[in-house]
A and B are shown apart, each in its own frame.
Chain A
């Protein structure tokens, strides 16, 4: 009972000292990967990158998070809009931790190839910020690119070229040099992962320098490169690095079929270069419940937003399509809907190209047997019988003028056509209430045991961040913008299109389909590939994966592509689409700095308002 009881010995918790040990530094690296989960699969961040583009609009159950993002007069993006704050509020601790690892690693004897992962992530996170918010601070409080250990409450934003040339390029160049060819652990960063991001960063920076549509930057700065290089130089760099990546693939390769890129049983395949991993094997390491999850934090629930509420399908007074932990079904939130333009324009070709089929859920199939209802068959369209596994409501690949919607099939607006037992809906007559789901990101579980499984747990699949296929797109885009080299944009894009023509399975029909339409796909490629074609091709390849807003902002095509869209109302039986216009202004190309950041600053009101991006 002396002064000894006044000394603290922490046992139940870690204090920052531990971060200076070898295990602490290694744990820091793990954190850098884990932190990806708070963005990739996080539904509101996902929404901020999809809703309001030409891919998605808000759906019937949308709240203001989704309506605000649509910029169509039902809301607006302002400084305390939650969805646009997610990235800002997520990445700085990772940037700081990366700096800490880089500083502490040498003292505890961590190999340079491992430290290079931290360099990769610091650049990765800065790249993510600069694309969304413009210039961001390189000094977090203890100096430029230095681990911050001070309780500083001021902040100064660097300019966009400073962020690229100091915060992104040097780290990625070092990462390419120091990272191993093959990953240290499943899904960790490699030389080629760093190449892909450096190529993309060069490409994005080149566009910024060029600024073809006069989009303002902030903090204001001339569109000149500190190294005196021009846009073309960086387009060429992007092309060169991307071609390096293609020619030195390491363990990465394209999958033979587009279907295999997204089928749940094939996750973590050779084409996936970076992803935010999850697991069905342990709820603790999955970071979310396997049984029932909310949509916050690190849970992968993005696909719920784009899944319409199919569970209200009723046939013969039976809930015919029940909530199931299946890649085509899963938990429905009905927050985001694809526009009709997606199916009429982007995915106009649905027969040769396997990507429409490998992206969407085009038929909702009966599973009442798994839900415990032993009725062998139900009377569906045209009085015909369907059995479990049969389509209950399908979206038609080809427009059929004879669809009779008056039957309100499945109680969800399905129509009848002669000779079909399933109810059908034309893709150009969809509404915000019922529309094709996004199969590619859907639930995949191995523990259903023949039943409905656990459809309410967060998705246990890795969420894709970067794929080997993107090298081809980056090189092709750089080529279109003037870069030169061994392969033309036409050749590069055709690698992707050729693969897209190869079928092994028909996802809509749920049946084997061995078919190679590569030649026809290539034949349909215009000889002169332009930016519009590349952007359309990117949408076909990466639809609904959170690429679109960034792609349209990089190329300054957002206002043009997303100016209007078609879809019918919130009512399931409404099949008369209308056109909605969006108001996308130049200042929208930068996200607002979150109000919480500004509130936490100890700076004058003038300094605070100067910290915010113009327009917000």
Chain B
């Protein structure tokens, strides 16, 4: 035996501490110290193996040398291969459930306020849709479709091991080290009922053991420009529209030039409101580690404004991670994320869209009007402009402050007498408080200069805790039998309370919302407090077993008890199981060199969902306020019956997957197919009016989701010294269907649920064009449509016909048809081209088929009235000389203030392909970079949302086909009697929200 010593370094010559140096074919070894130095006694003809996480293992024969310095190569592959599966990690090769793993670098290709937007188009089966374009608004996530009818369909977010209850914009996406998405029930079963809609596990960045302190600074700045203005008419077009209205209306315009309108004006109100928005961030962090511990602390600042003045979101965040081993048995740690957000929004954009271009914001001298209060013939309006907003200043203010603190504290002890057994106590403590102040001065943003001032103050506190007792066992027996066991008992409770007060007639307007008590008590417009609490107790056990890296098996059993359900129905237990077969590791595949990886997976699991709000089982007594003269009183009535049998909603999922890697893993991918059946669905069953009670929460109904998912990653060119080109594509489908509702209930028109159709549908007349006098059935127009006119919207008639070909009835509600807005398939792609220190990358999304709903074009938005009352979306409408138009004759038959069947005008083919970002970056590798002590210096420039292809909606309107609103936000339902309940609530829409933007960004990443 001789004594060998040396230094282990990485490719850059930096020492690597903590490397295991093992004598081949023995269990004897040593570890490198902080300077990468090691010493070991070994026989002079032996061999040494150098192992370190993140590096390729290297075996070196001693050959009698006493000094061996080793350079290890980073194993990028292996880093990617670690997947967080909840209560532990697994090598990707061993995973049997449906899990998608996304690393920080991928997320950071799309720089956004929240991780959801960065995730868009990244993972098959994960659909992210924007429901508001206001800064700070979080998009909606749906993993493998919706299953619950009125319950929550949001996935569970787990932050550093603890269920996350905060706002979805509370997490700084630059803090994220990895995102792992558990999609099928066999994977989510460990999270039980809370994971019924899928689980997104977020792991924040941590230091590495033995790592020298490293400082990072990341920043970018983006300017946001309107992607495309809303296509509104100009002065001449509106004037022509009114003339065309008159032509269809016996020569009389319905709305004539009036009020402050003047034909000499042609104002583009959008130009007067929209400006340039910004988005910027600064993140700093320090991370490092000792032999027995790691740490990472960081701070971040993010700010975003929209193109609408007064819209802003700012976030200050702090992150701290500490993990320390004490002795050989104990380990303690803390993971903490804290954030402080400030959000404001003061003006909607409906005002500028509906404002007549024939109005002018200037007085006779060409100066801006003191306040843009203008009349048309029918409407008195105040129109928002940048100038007006800046003039008003503090006269209109909104400020929402959110503070959140999300903490996971843990302690772990190895049980000394059982190898591989650990006990871990996790304590999750979350706290979030929110305050929303709002103030509008007298007459501000209102046509009526005497409109009362108003102010409100609302505040809430959310507290929750989780205590988890975990027993963890991980050991390999006889080299071939790997066993991993997790046992868990957890208890969690969430409490929420809130307080709010709104008043009008504030005596001193400079006090904003800080002196509400100065208003008279009769000027209180709203007040209240609220409270809710819910608890969940759980027991869980999971076994993962694999034999010889070939046969993989995972089984989970979990019991959940929920406070939200009725006594006697609170507890449920459900199993999940999955199997995997690593075919590639079989002997018979050894010689198939083209295949590097081939794995077949099958999973089955049950999950359940407590998707009702607390107290649903107890029924509801609603309150109503009344005055007997000046005597005020509160009334009560039973609005919801109690349900003493309310229990869990169940889902069963089968998942089939195939993972493969070919040609030296240059082409790898996953194919999956799943079927999820949900039964005993929780929903508020509507009772007939004659029951005297509107609803009862029940376990009724069934839904089903089926889907196919494909992800492919390819390295097309791989030349470390020249060009590297990687491409990733994912594609998925989801077919959602309601299998059953309550007995005898084939459809629920109020909720828009129809057996045999998806949960989210359009229920409306089917627009088949316009009535023209050349139509063969035109002679029966008055039978189909009493009071109808040529050029009106023609909808499909589903009734019977008389012998002469006339309809037996007029077109009525029976002719409404369920229409499925689901795309045929959706997906995303990304590609990266690198040449030496330059790289260019691109990320995009696409969908084929389906329906985009534009409330601008439909009757919801009040800007396609086609009567000339307000400004109108610039649409191709019918005139006697333009009978082939898409939109009806203006001034024809109305329903409410809109053209009859106006709701059908908002449906567009949903296909599109959208490039979300293109980034060009340069990594400085010149000597001066090292001379300054920098590890890494990168600059990049990005354009976000550069263009849209293949979109019929974009082609017609120029607008971004991506949604910007929920159906009820900014839907502007002015007139409640107009039936706008033709679109399921779960469908996001394109509406009058802050316009989509195209962003130009430059950024810098620096590490030393």
Contacts and interface: CB of A to CB of B under 8 A. Distances in A.
A578 to B, nearest CB: 12
Nearest to B492: A5
19 contacts: A2-B491, A31-B635, A33-B635, A67-B787, A74-B786, A74-B787, A83-B977, A94-B637, A153-B745, A155-B690, A155-B691, A186-B630, A278-B627, A283-B525, A284-B524, A285-B633, A296-B976, A454-B451, A570-B252
Interface stretch (A384-392, A498-506, A598-606): A598-606
Interface of B: 249-250, 252, 254, 258-259, 375, 377-378, 380, 448-452, 454, 467, 491, 493, 497, 504, 522, 524-527, 529-537, 561-564, 570, 614-615, 617-639, 641-643, 685-694, 696, 698, 742-745, 747-750, 786-787, 810, 812-813, 894-897, 900, 974-979
A295 B626 contact: no
Most chain B beta-carbon contacts within 10 A, residue among A7, A15, A30: A30
B749 A599 contact: yes
A148 B524 CA distance: 36
B748 A599 contact: yes
A233 interface: no
Nearest to B900: A64
Contacts of A596: 689, 749-750
A286 B590 CA distance: 81
Nearest to A188: B628
A140 B690 contact: yes
Contact of A30 (B634, B745, B900): B634
A512 interface: no
A259 to B, nearest CB: 22
A24 B619 CA distance: 15
A452 B451 CA distance: 10
Interface string A98-140: 0010000000000000000000000000000000000011001
Nearest to A298: B624
B742 A602 contact: yes
B693 to A, nearest CB: 7
Interface stretch (A85-93, A195-203, A463-471, A535-543): A85-93
B691 A152 contact: yes
B624 A153 contact: no
B782 to A, nearest CB: 8
A396 B64 CA distance: 124
B626 A456 contact: no
A201 to B, nearest CB: 21
Contacts of A100: 638
A575 interface: no
Given A76-B810, A281-B627, A27 B685 contact: no
A123 to B, nearest CB: 16
Interface string A471-515: 000000000000000000000000000000000000000000000
Interface string A289-306: 111101111100000000
A409 interface: no
Contact of B690 (A12, A92, A372, A453): A92
Contacts of A141: 691-692
A286 B627 CA distance: 7
B685 A295 contact: no
Nearest to B571: A6
Contact of A31 (B250, B532, B637, B895): B637
Nearest to A449: B450
A358 B50 CA distance: 102
A570 B686 CA distance: 42
Interface residues of A, number: 117
Most chain A beta-carbon contacts within 10 A, residue among B686, B693, B897: B693
Nearest to A94: B637
B718 to A, nearest CB: 54
7 A-B pairs closest in CB distance = A96-B692, A5-B535, A186-B629, A31-B635, A30-B635, A296-B976, A602-B744
Contacts of A265: none
Contact of B687 (A94, A153, A289, A312): A153
A251 interface: no
Given A152-B691, A451-B450, A600-B689, A31 B636 contact: yes
A32 interface: yes
A541 to B, nearest CB: 24
B688 A597 contact: yes
Given A451-B450, A454-B451, A148 B693 contact: yes
Most chain A beta-carbon contacts within 10 A, residue among B621, B813, B896: B621
A78 interface: yes
Interface string A323-337: 100000000000000
A603 B745 CA distance: 9
A594 B622 CA distance: 24
A65 interface: yes
B467 A30 contact: no
B694 to A, nearest CB: 7
Contact of A64 (B564, B747, B896): B896
Interface string A143-156: 00000111111010
A5 B252 contact: no
Nearest to B628: A185
Contacts of A93: 637-639, 692-694
A187 B632 CA distance: 12
B522 A282 contact: yes
B895 A285 contact: no
A277 B626 CA distance: 8
Contacts of A29: 635
A186 B633 CA distance: 12
Contacts of B254: 60, 570
Contact of B627 (A13, A136, A282): A282
Given A5-B535, A79-B813, A453-B450, A96 B693 contact: yes
Contacts of B688: 153, 155, 597, 600-601
B535 A35 contact: no
Contact of A1 (B491, B629, B632): B491
A61 interface: yes
A8 B563 contact: yes
A35 B624 contact: yes
A5 B639 CA distance: 27
A382 interface: no
Given A186-B628, A597-B688, A12 B525 contact: no
Interface string A55-68: 00000110111010
Contacts of A78: 812-813
Nearest to B375: A319
A147 to B, nearest CB: 8
Contacts of B742: 153, 602
A277 B615 contact: no
Interface string A524-566: 0000000000000000000000000000000000000000000
A289 B525 contact: yes
A75 B638 contact: no
Given A15-B620, A67-B787, A602-B745, A284 B450 contact: no
A279 B630 contact: yes
A12 B530 contact: yes
A277 B268 CA distance: 46
Contact of B897 (A63, A319, A570, A571): A63
Given A82-B977, A97-B638, 13 more contacts: A14-B620, A15-B620, A27-B636, A28-B636, A31-B636, A60-B254, A63-B978, A93-B694, A97-B692, A141-B691, A155-B690, A596-B750, A603-B744
Given A79-B813, A285-B625, A597-B688, A30 B524 contact: no
Contacts of A44: 977
Given A16-B621, A151-B698, A323 B380 contact: yes
Nearest to B564: A8
A268 B689 contact: no
A13 B626 contact: no
A411 interface: yes
B626 A140 contact: no
A227 interface: no
B449 to A, nearest CB: 7
A48 B977 CA distance: 13
